[in-house]
């Protein structure tokens, strides 16, 4: 594995760069400085809200690229590089279906805020880990009529793959459906995925697939893993991701990303 040509490192957040407590290690920030010194770019790519991502990476936020909402939006500082919203009518059509799924909690995600219609204190408390800017409203359909929505996120306390996806699988011709974690499923425009957003970043930086390193753990990472020769599945990744990725690393709680970045830094010397 010759890492000396890598010019762009891309990492998912939850289950990948973040440990199970939602923390980024101090060691990552040390390694980031070394990458910066070698003109290697870094991009955080997550299903999270943009504000949530840059809060986790506050000390380096001005120096990185960010793909948020699973490719719904890509930004560098205040510059929007790409934005894919979901048609208003598609949102209005699917909300009644989602409301009928027992245990499903619906989130509408816009560029600046997320919207929920929940009285479940447990969900609201948990949801704030991922969405810092939000409003609790009476009717999400009314929000969809007037607000540009990048994606719909659905949370299920047991399993999004087991309890949400089967109920809406028949809609895959009209929506991009991504199981993005044990509890989350994302519904987006067909063009809105991390792979398409990553291609835009690669184009801006004039970086090729052969010069790109990507880390991921779940189905919403599939397209971006396919855009990198150096694709790594985390030790805690879904089995589908382990089969897809070209390489493997340790789990998010065992500094899997950092261990590979150490090798990358060492290869440049």
Task: Indicate if the pLDDT at residue 269 is higher than 80.
Answer: no
Task: Indicate if the pLDDT at residue 94 is higher than 70.
Answer: yes
Helical (H) or strand (E) element with 57:
none
Confidence of residue 206 (pLDDT cuts 50, 70, 90): very high
Superfamily classification of domain 8-83+192-268? HAD superfamily/HAD-like (3.40.50.1000)
In order, the DSSP letters of 105-126 are: EEEEE-SS-EEE----HHHHHH
- Give me the count of residues in the chain: 269
Cα–Cα distances (Å) from 75 to 2, 61, 72, 192, 248, in that order, read 30, 11, 10, 14, 28
**Residue 83: strand, helix, or coil:** strand
Summarize pLDDT for 83-92 with one digit per residue, the tens: 999 999 999 9
Cα angle 203, 240, 171 (rounded to 5 degrees) comes to 80
Ranges of H-type helices in the chain? 26-37, 50-56, 88-99, 121-127, 140-146, 160-163, 165-168, 194-205, 222-225, 239-244, 256-268
User: What does the alpha-carbon distance between residue 222 and residue 224 come to, in Å, rounded to a whole number?
Assistant: 6
Least confident of 24-28, 51-55, 224-228: 51-55
Out of 3.90.380.10, 3.30.1240.10, 3.40.50.10490, 3.40.50.150, which CATH number does the structure's domain 88-188 have? Answer: 3.30.1240.10
Strand order in the sheet with 79-83: 79-83, 73-76, 65-68, 41-45, 8-11, 212-216, 230-233, 247-248
Domains of the chain, by residue range, sit at 8-83+192-268, 88-188
Instruction: Please compute Rg for the chain using Cα positions.
Output: 18
């Amino acid at each position: 594995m010759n890492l000396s040509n890598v010019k762009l490192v891309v990492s998912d957040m939850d289950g990948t760069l973040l440990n199970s407590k939602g923390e980024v290690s101090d060691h990552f920030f040390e390694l980031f400085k070394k990458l910066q010194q070698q003109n290697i770019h870094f991009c955080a790519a997550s299903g999270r809200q943009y504000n949530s991502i840059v809060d986790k990476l506050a000390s380096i936020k001005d120096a990185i690229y960010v793909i948020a909402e699973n490719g719904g939006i890509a930004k560098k500082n205040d510059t929007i590089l790409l934005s894919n919203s979901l048609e208003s009518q598609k949102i209005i059509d699917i909300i009644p279906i989602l409301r009928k799924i027992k245990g499903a909690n619906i989130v509408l995600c816009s560029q600046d805020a997320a919207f929920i219609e929940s009285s479940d204190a447990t969900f609201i408390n948990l949801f704030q880990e991922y969405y810092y800017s939000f409003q609790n409203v009476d009717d999400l359909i009314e929000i969809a009529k007037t607000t540009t929505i990048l994606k719909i996120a659905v949370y299920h306390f047991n399993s999004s793959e087991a309890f949400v996806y089967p109920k809406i699988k028949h809609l895959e011709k009209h929506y991009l459906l991504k199981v993005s974690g044990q509890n989350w499923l994302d519904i987006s425009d067909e063009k809105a995925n991390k792979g398409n957003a990553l291609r835009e970043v690669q184009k801006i930086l004039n970086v090729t697939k052969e010069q790109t390193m990507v880390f991921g753990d779940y189905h919403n990472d599939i397209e971006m893993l396919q855009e990198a020769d150096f694709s790594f599945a985390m030790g805690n990744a879904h089995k589908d991701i382990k089969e897809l990725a070209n390489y493997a690393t340790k789990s998010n709680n065992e500094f899997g990303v950092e261990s590979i970045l150490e090798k990358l830094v060492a290869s440049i010397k």
